[in-house]
Amino acid sequence: MVSIIDNFNQVSLHNPSEEILKLYSHIDEIYEVDPRGYNITRPLFSHSDMPNFLNTPTINIKDFGWDKPFVYSVVLHHNNALAAKHLNLIPKKILEQIKEKKCKLVLDNTMEGDEVTRFFKAIYNSIEELKLPASQIYYVTNSLVAENEHKSWISEKNIYNTINVISFMYNVMDVQRLKNLNHLPQHVDIEEEIYYKEQNIDKIKPFLKVNRTGRPERNLFMLHLNKYDLFDKFLISFPEYPDYNFPSNMFHNITQEDNIESLKLKCPFDIDQTDIDNHGPPGAGIGKFNADLPFDPTHYRNSMLSFVMCAFPFVEGCCHLHSSTFNPIYCGHPVIQFGPHNHLEVLKSLGFKTFSKWWDESYDKEGEGWVRFQGVLNNLNTLRKLSKTQILNMYKDMKNVLQHNSDLIQNYNIKKVLIDRIL
């Protein structure tokens, strides 16, 4: 099987051509403002790396003889439901081949993982309007609960001709790419990590918190550190303080104006050169801001525990865990995470071990998002009272769990999952 490429599915998500943008001129939603206030324009469909994941050779549409089955892949805009609503924008020839069951259409959401119900409603409406066979549609997403959500949704709607939904841990697979670029170590031996931390106990920090983009919960976490003067216990990255509204009652002790202004004056917190060179409007290179730029992996050696703010922590029906979770786990860090409801159970279902022996993880079962966030702060308030030696002893005690989790990522053959299920 081969993958077909053309101008439509090779366009950049962040730098679309004027020709492509004309196709979307009637869709106002493609014009957005990012969390830091910069204007951005993103097409609904763009370049996908799925041919590399599937190990399929690519053929330009102009050179294809339409004599064999093929795959056509597109990355979906962050608003997946909007893309599904406008599925008719996909080139007419491709839609015709889908109808004849010669084309497998892969809707690539591997780097995101928002709530999926609105997407399901939109995609099934488009399939009906365009008279496409649902079996030829593959939705690959980083939402680790999407498959179960789809099963529940089609059962409720009594739908029997269904698309293929695949939950895909992109950032577990992506560890291999980061290793090849020397952004992550080739192998992690927890015994070696323990020895290093023992020998360098004076210079290492108990905790690590890295941030690229602002979110309300990330701001609150930083405000908590500022209020209680905890920065000396952290290696920390925080480029700027975007203004957000917070819950009015729960965090009044840290959201007072003087604390906010005090934190703003301390920004940016640049943890390494990747931070120093990473300020400005969205883009890549010095003077631009790349939210996905990896951090120097030495920070994991020089600290003992990561606090993680997951994507979409307040959204029901999703579980999007990305590099902020899996990079520290691979590098031998225990993690305390603010994530979607019951996300730790999802991790355990995938073979990972969590850390309820050493701190309270019951907060993850709380249905209300800000209550879960407070649970993370409660754990920090307990752990910050421990000495570095006490935290190191805790780290030693969890050695087998840390090695298990790192090895699980090291040995994951996630590509095979995609190849088996799509091809």
CB 370 within 8 Å of CB 250: yes
Token pair in block for residue 351: 């073979």
Which helix or strand (DSSP H or E) is residue 303 part of?
strand 303-309
Residue 106 to residue 39: CA distance in whole angstroms: 29
Q: What is the pLDDT of residue 232?
A: 97
12-69, pLDDT tens digit by residue? Answer: 887 888 899 899 999 988 887 776 677 778 899 999 999 999 999 999 999 999 999 9
Checking if the pLDDT of 3 tops 90, the result is yes
Domains defined along the chain, listed by start: 2-168 (no CATH), 181-412 (3.40.50)
Checking if the pLDDT of 237 tops 70, the result is yes
Checking if the pLDDT of 274 tops 90, the result is no
Place of tokens 């957000």: 244
To the question of pTM greater than 0.75 for the whole model, the response is yes
CB 85 within 8 Å of CB 29: no
Q: What is the pLDDT of residue 35?
A: 66
CB 259 within 8 Å of CB 227: yes
Closest C-alpha among 171, 124, 119 to residue 144: 171
pLDDT band at 176 (very low <50, low <70, confident <90, very high): confident
Amino acid residing at 416? K
Flag the least confident range among 18-32, 114-128, 202-216, 282-296: 282-296
Three-state secondary structure readout of the chain: CEEEECCCCCCCCCCCCHHHHHHCCCCHHHEEECCCCCEEECCCEECCCHHHHHCCCEEEHHHCCCCCCEEEEEEECCCHHHHHHCHHHCCHHHHHHHHCCCEEEEEEECCCCCCCHHHHHHHHHHHHHHCCCHHHEEEEECECCHHHHHHHHHHHHCCCCCCEEEECCHHHHHHHHHHHCCCCCCCCCHHHHHHHHHHCCCCCEEEEECCCCCCHHHHHHHHHHHHCCCHHHEEECECCCCCCCCCCCCCCCCCCHHHHHHHHHHCCECCCHHHHCCCCCECCCCCCECCCCCCCCHHHHCEEEEEEECCCCCCCCCCECCHHHHHHHHCCCCEEEECCCCHHHHHHHCCCCCCCCCCCCHHHHCCCHHHHHHHHHHHHHHHCCCCHHHHHHHHHHCHHHHHHHHHHHHCCCHHHHHHHHHC
